[in-house]
Amino acid sequence: MAYVMFLFLFGLVLGLVAVASNPSPYFAALGLVAVAGLGCGVLVGHGGSFLSLVLFLIYLGGMLVVFAYSAALAAEPYPESWGSRPVAVSMVVYVAGVILASIAHWGGWYEASWVSVDELGELSVFRADMGGVALMYSLGGGMLVISAWVLLLTLFVVLELTRGLSRGSVRAV
Closest CA to 168 of 150, 154, 156: 156
Structural domain boundaries in the chain: 2-126, 140-173
CA distances from 106 to 1, 64, 99, 157, 168 (A): 21, 37, 10, 45, 52
Closest CA to 44 of 127, 131, 138: 127
- Give residue-wise pLDDT tens across range 6-41: 888 889 888 888 888 877 777 777 778 888 889 888
Task: Assign 96 a pLDDT band (cuts: 50, 70, 90).
Answer: very high
pTM: 0.61
Closest CA to 68 of 101, 32, 26: 26
Q: What is the mean pLDDT of residues 72-76?
A: 67
Residues 6 or more apart in contact with residue 12 via CB below 8 angstroms: 35, 38, 39, 42
Q: What does residue 100 show for φ and ψ, rounded to 5 degrees?
A: -65, -40
